[in-house]
Structure 1
Amino acid sequence: MSVCGPSKFTLPGSCTGVACCQSGIPAAVDYFEPYLLDIPKEQTDPIFYSNSTTCRYVFLVEAEWLNTKYTGGSLNRTDDFAVPVVLDWAVRNVRNCKAAKRNATDYACRSMLSHCVNSKNSTGYRCNCSKGYEGNPYLDDGCKDINECERKGKHTCHGACTNTPGSYTCQCPPGTSGDATRKDGCRPKDSFTLALKVVTGVSLGVFLPFFMSFWLYLGLQKRKLIRTKQKFFEVNGGLFLQQQIRNYNGTSKGTGGFKIFSKEELEKATNEFAADQVLGHGGHGIVYKGVLEDKTIVAIKKSKMMEEAPTTEFAREMFILSQINHKNVVKLLGCCLEVEVPMLVYEFVSNGTLYHYIHGSKGLDSDAALDACLRIAVESAEALAYMHSSASPPILHGDVKTANILLDHKLTAKVSDFGASKLAPTDEAKMATLVQGTCGYLDPEYLMTCRLTDKSDVYSFGVVLLELLTRKKALYFDGPEEDRSLVLCFMMAVKVGQHQDLLDSQVRDEMRIEALEEITHLVVRCLNMSGEERPTMKEVAETLEMLRRYHSHPWAQADANPEEEQSLLAMEPRNANYKFTQDCVLDFEASSTYSYSL
């Protein structure tokens, strides 16, 4: 509230209540309405209403202007007049900028070239264009770049001015240097001053010995790396292997295709062993896909630590493995011996593993799936039989499983991963080895005696054959404990005559009962606890080939008489009831063993 006295007491100066009075509007007031009130005569001193005037008005004005512009009697006017006012405003639907930015829909600073400023008068915020821009920050494209080069009075440049988004550059003309923002700030360049000569000389004196030492260090490191590579090459039997390759090439017209690769060649082929080149992980290392300089696609196995063995023995094994030439065995193309653990280079097989075809998303679910399974089983068995019987010396795989049987684009089987392979020893004392392999496929006899034999591969292949027939995994940890081992489930089912319930429905539907019993008999023989009682891989391959021919023969699709079936199967009729006696097949429930007969 403000009270105005009579005008006769008006004095020059500010508006202090004589003929003129003022009230300051407090901050954060959202609404203000002026109201004029006459003081009743009977209730106050006559001094408040004598010499009064009927010319009374109220207006809003900037306080600073009123304090500096008012002189006594100057506001006693009856005409229209203008005074300055101050608009103090903000966006006040939120407390500050931090809160406003949380809601992009209601955020008032629409221009990408604007920023938010907290209100200094109570809550809220306002928007300003960023430095170097002007316009309306409340519109999407409201802030525009300021061309500082055109505003010479505000932005001084005595050189070459170049406008940039939000700023500008001011450079001295070519051939000069200095500060172009000052008048006469650019001076001609001295190409090579005395100070520069001194600095250059000192720099050369200080840094030249350093660089010489650095290059000498690099040279020593390179020589050390070369010596290390040579050491690994010799330790891994490289000299012996080179001699074997030269002798082989000298006694035969072909080269054999085996090559000793350098570490740099394999790094280039795999893009420095990039993660996207990984084909798979195994118990013995990581397999990468690589492309050699001649565009040959290969699989490169980067092995983990290997057993300590004589260098010539490892080189001899590599050379002999490289001579394996069988259509169902992955070809060993070469190796790299310049590293601590040698890397092996194999031919690339494009269509994944048998494991993924049985249990993966692709699946062997076509009409010809059973034919494909039998053919893959025959090809795998023939490959193992070749290594056991035809290779010289014989080769034991040691880790036969569906993950180590690869399939090409025609679903042709190729046995791979000789990480656990051994040349069959001639000395009985050397047969004991460190147990290697995969759980679910390991030969129990090998596990107990640590003696790897060709019958160990037969047992593992029996598990592979069982996977093909049942489409179940060798180990399954999600189910009941008694169902986790496929071999255990199968043996227990054979014992009670319910083994056919474990077979895949397509196998049961498409195979005749005679063939089913014959292949069941073969699996049981392969899984015998006693290695001596198991068939050889050659016998397994011949039996499977016979079953495959029987299944694909027209007689198998019709009701053939017994004589025809026996002729085609080349076998005696079998009784489907298996009888067990002690000491051959392991009974996991009773902790005893049994043998079977038909």
Structure 2
Amino acid sequence: MAFRSMICCGNSFDRKGEGKKQTKWRIFSLKELHAATNNFNYDNKLGEGRFGSVYWGQLWDGSQIAVKRLKVWSNNAELEFVVEIETLGRVRHKNLLSLRGYCAEGQERLIVYDYMPNLSLLSHLHGHHSTECLLDWNRRMNIAIGSAEGIAYLHHHATPRIIHRDIKASSVLLDSDFQAKVADFGFAKIMPDGATHVTTRVKGSLGYLAPEYAMLGKASESCDVYSFGILLLELASGKKPLVKLGQTAERTITDWALPLVCERKFDELADPQLNGKYVEEELKRVVIVALICAHSQPEKRPTMLEVVGLLKGESKEKFAVLENDKLFKSPQPTDDRSAVDDGSDIISEE
């Protein structure tokens, strides 16, 4: 595959003026990345997932990078590698992870990004940073709005439009100021002009998949909205997308949250790590927007542009309409149910 011709001249630009300057990125040599990561030393490893491992590195000029190294070469890995590079090469936004470059030598496939000192949202909600309680309410609101703006850019301002298809807590990275950067574009899909959806093999993470996508393979911007709704509930409550009820039983976070919203018990939805330190109106706004985003009927979900306005409190009349939606009028059935579907081609959260 002619990787050098895949992106023209290593330049990308923002079509909506997110920054008038051109963004330079380049092809790295394998030798350079070995040197930067101390030969992919275990002590440099930041994390590991379905795709492979991510390592911290430092270039000769002192700048810090993160290097994603694919586990094994395969046609699927190659496709994901190309998709991620092509997608990141098309876009530029303050809430999207910036591409520094890539390396394709022999069977090695590596993608180089800016290093994010505060790692992922997942690490702060459920990982080794969760006990440090670094996510106060103000930071959570900024992360919610920032990640929403990044996804809205993909849906409404990128040309052509882009569906992410894998919005989840580990796909939201945090810089030194805890500003959100949406990442992990390996499953991204380009939306053809005029298309309302694309039918495709199901990819994504258990607990975040919109029902029409999981069952029928119909991917659209609305599927990302659904996943973002789950992410918002996770951010507000500190709970995982699938809430364990015992040894084997589990239910979705929406099934747990909706009855509490119907009974207006918003305080029971807040992450205990917040110790009651949150803005009540903002918590209510986040949770209601989250549940509307995660509506089982795609046509009931807002667009990501609308979500941004709602989270910022700019659409008070629209929020009042949502708050009085029939979805919140009576408690919903909350029968325990297993969320595992062995017959689907779903990549579970790692």
Q: Shorter-chain-normalised TM-score: which range?
A: 0.7 to 0.9
Separation (CA, whole Å) in 2 of partners of 1:511 and 1:254:
38
CA contact (8 A) 1:517 1:576 kept: no
Match of 2:326 among 579, 584, 592: 579
Question: Is the 2:200–2:219 contact (alpha carbons within 8 Å) kept by the matching residues of 1?
Answer: yes
Q: Which residue of 367, 370, 379 corresponds with 2:146?
A: 379
Give structure 2 stretches of 5+ with no counterpart.
14-19, 338-350
Q: 1:511 to 1:448 in 2, by over 3 A?
A: same
- Deviations along 1:101-139, one digit per CA (max 9) or x if unpaired, are xxxxxxxxxxxxxxxxxxxxxxxxxxxxxxxxxxxxxxx
Q: How many residues are aligned here?
A: 326
Partner Cα separation in structure 2 for residue 255 and residue 580 of structure 1: 46
Is the 8 Å Cα contact of residues 11 and 25 (structure 2) preserved in structure 1?
no
Distance 1:346 1:276 in 2: 19
Between 1:279-288 and 1:482-491, the stretch displaced more is 482-491
- Letter aligned with residue 245 of structure 1: C
Q: Deviations over 1:328-350 (max 9, x none)?
A: 21101111122336321111111
Paired with 1:546 and 1:255, the residues of 2 have a C-alpha distance of 33
Aligned CA distance change for structure 1 residues 475 and 246 (closer, same or farther; 3 Å): closer
Give the letter for the 1:491 counterpart: L
CA offsets per residue over residues 56-76 of structure 1, 9 Å max, x none?
A: xxxxxxxxxxxxxxxxxxxxx
The 5 A counterparts of 1:339-378 are: 339-340=106-107, 342-360=109-127, 362-363=129-130, 365=133, 369-378=136-145
Q: Distance in 2 between matches of 1:476 and 1:327?
A: 32
Counterpart amino acid of residue 264 in structure 1: K
SS across alignment from 1:461: helix
The residue number in structure 2 matching 1:445 is 212
Query: Deviations along 1:417-449, whole A, 9 cap, x unmatched?
Result: 212222223485992222222112122221111
1:326 equivalenced with 2:93 (yes/no) = yes
Select which of 267, 288, 295 maps to 2:34. 267
Structure 1 counterpart of 2:113, which letter? Y
For residues 289-335 of structure 1, the C-alpha deviation after alignment (integer angstroms, 9 at most, x for no partner) is 12223332111111245655998x97586245224221221101111
1:411 maps to: 178
Deviations 1:518-559 (A, max 9, x none): 333211211111222211111111111227xxxxxxxxxxxx
What is the aligned partner in structure 2 of residue 241 from structure 1?
A: 6
Distance change (3 Å), C-alpha of 1:575 and 1:416: closer
Offset of residue 464 of structure 1: 1.2
**Residues 531 and 377 of structure 1: CA distance in aligned 2, closer, same or farther (over 3 Å):** same
Residues in 2 aligned to 1:572 and 1:461: alpha-carbon distance in whole angstroms: 17
Partner SS, residue 400 of structure 1 = coil
- Tell me the residue number matched to 2:345: none
Aligned to 2:347: none
Letter in 1 for 2:235: L
Pairing partner for 2:64 from 297, 311, 332: 297
Cα deviation, residue 590, structure 1: 10
What CA distance in whole angstroms lies between the structure 2 residues aligned with 1:354 and 1:476? Answer: 18
Assess if the C-alpha contact under 8 Å between 1:289 and 1:300 holds in 2: yes
Question: For 1:557-568, what aligned pairs fall within 5 Å after superposition?
Answer: none
Q: Name the aligned partner's letter for residue 511 of structure 1.
A: V
Shift of 1:267: 2.1
Distance in 2 (alpha carbons) for counterparts of 1:580 and 1:539:
19
Structure 2 counterpart SS, 1:406: strand
Once residues 406 and 418 of structure 1 are traced to their aligned partners in structure 2, the CA distance between those partners, rounded to angstroms, is: 13
CA 1:322–1:572: 2 relative to 1, 3 Å: closer
1:380 is paired with a residue of what secondary structure?
Answer: helix
TM-score by length of 2: 0.78
TM-score (norm 1): 0.48
Between the aligned partners of 2:64 and 2:197, the Cα distance in structure 1 is 38
Q: Is 1:435 paired with 2:184?
A: no
Query: Which has the higher mean CA deviation after the structures are superposed, 469-478 or 528-537?
Result: 469-478
Q: What per-residue deviation string (whole Å, max 9, x for no partner) do you get for residues 23-68 of structure 1? A: xxxxxxxxxxxxxxxxxxxxxxxxxxxxxxxxxxxxxxxxxxxxxx
Q: Which residue of 1 aligns with 2:279?
A: 511
Shift, 1:494, TM fit = 4.0
Deviation readout 1:187-208 (Å, 9 max, x if unpaired): xxxxxxxxxxxxxxxxxxxxxx
Q: 1:349 to 1:324 in 2, by over 3 A?
A: same
Separation in 1, partners of 2:84, 2:184: 14
Q: Deviations over 1:228-251 (max 9, x none)?
A: xxxxxxx2x314226x117879xx
Contact 2:29 2:103 in 1 (8 A): yes
CA drift of 1:411 comes to 1.3
Q: Secondary structure at the match of 1:521?
A: helix
- The corresponding residue for 2:55 is 288
Partner of 2:305: 538
Describe the superposition over 1:452-479 as per-residue Cα deviations: whole angstroms up to 9, x where unpaired: 2211111111111101211112234473
Q: Which structure has the larger Rg?
A: 1
**8 Å contact kept, 1:388–1:396:** yes
Q: CA deviation at 1:515?
A: 4.3
1:279 pairs with one of 24, 28, 46: 46
Find the residue that maps to 1:355 and give its secondary structure.
helix
Aligned partners of 1:482 and 1:489 also within 8 Å:
no
Please give the per-residue CA displacement for 1:242-271, whole angstroms capped at 9, x wherever unaligned: 6x117879xxx9763121122222222222
Q: Secondary structure at the match of 1:289?
A: strand
- Return 286-295 or 479-488, whichever deviates more: 479-488
Aligned partners of 1:479, 1:445: CA distance in 2, in Å? 28
Equivalent-residue separation in structure 2 for 1:458 and 1:495 (angstroms): 22
Tell me the distance in 2 between the aligned counterparts of 1:310 and 1:290.
23
The percent identity for this pair of structures is 33
Structure 1 distance, partners of 2:136, 2:237, is: 13
Tell whether 2:230 aligns with 1:466: no
Residue of structure 2 in register with 1:527 after alignment: 294
Distance in structure 2 (CA, Å) of the matches to 1:580 and 1:349: 38
Distance 1:272 1:445, change over 3 A: same
Structure 1 position 360, deviation (Å): 4.2
Offset of residue 588 of structure 1:
6.2
Q: 1:534 to 1:507 in 2, by over 3 A?
A: farther
CA distance in 2, matches of 1:347, 1:302: 15
What amino acid is aligned across from residue 579 of structure 1 in structure 2? K
